[in-house]
Amino acid sequence: MPAPLALVNWKTSYRIIATRFPPRFLFERVAPDTDWDALEALADLTSPRVMQAEDRHGLFPPEECAEGEGAELVMAAFTYLNPEGSRFSDGSYGVYYTARSLDTAIHETVYHRRRFWRFSRLPAMHFPMKVLEARIQGRLHDLREKAPDRKLLDPDNYAASKRFALKVKVQEKAAGIVYPSVRHQGGECAAVFLPRMVSQCRRTMMLDYIWDGAGEVTVAKLDVMKVLKGEEQS
């Protein structure tokens, strides 16, 4: 039984990704806020991340690419491929993963970060993360009420979900999948295959993922100016 299509219109969704430096807030100490957009555009001219994202825009026809505010942030999700894949990708294509609430996004990312840090045996340290908020709008395959195969939502084994995603993406030209979070009860997530389904993408906050080196992760909202002062002193 195929998954039904549902019209998804989330005015706000939350995607959390790793970052090394606080974005655009760096300009607060050197320029008025009216100049931030121009300075950010200037910085993007030599940004490897931006240039690589633009090179991969050829993966989609122009009408399927993200447009408007934050389009480059959206396209980056389809630029940097994870060769190991993910729940709804075999590694041959990118996916814009996002959650309907910030709490769900945190639960999802903490789970995966904890697994990686534990496996890597990293000592205690801080990891700055940035939050992207965006609108998700389109008809997505819906697994929220009843998945055609319970293995599609297996917490640890992604074999069935990878096969399902490849089938609906290639054969049915699916725009994406909306599904219940397996890390946060009651939460909802989306795996978007077409960039144009994502719009009004913007960076809204920084989070600090604090790894204790033994298995626990604490999440705190960063005071960006304190982070900048700390970098100056180090």
Answer whether 211's CB lies under 8 Å from 200's CB.
no
Total of domains in the chain? 1
* Domain with 182 in it: 5-233
pLDDT score recorded for residue 225? 43
- pLDDT, tens digit, 9 for 90 and up, residues 45-101: 655 455 545 555 557 888 889 999 999 899 989 987 888 899 999 999 999 999 999
Distances (CA, A) of 68 to 45, 62, 71, 135, 200: 17, 13, 6, 12, 7
* Rounded distance between C-alpha atoms, residue 96 and residue 87, angstroms: 12
Q: Which band of pLDDT confidence, cut at 50, 70 and 90, is reported for residue 187?
A: very high
**Share of residues in the chain with pLDDT > 70 (%):** 77
Amino acid in the structure at residue 178: V
* Rounded distance between C-alpha atoms, residue 115 and residue 121, angstroms: 10
pTM: 0.81
Answer whether 190's CB lies under 8 Å from 109's CB.
no
What integer is the mean pLDDT of 139-155?
91
Residue 201 in this model has a pLDDT that exceeds 70: yes
Our CA dihedral for 226, 14, 23, 119, rounded to 10 degrees, sits at 80
Other CB atoms within 10 A of residue 134 CB: 26
Q: Where are the beta strands (DSSP E) in the chain?
A: 5-18, 96-99, 125-142, 176-180, 188-192, 198-211, 217-221
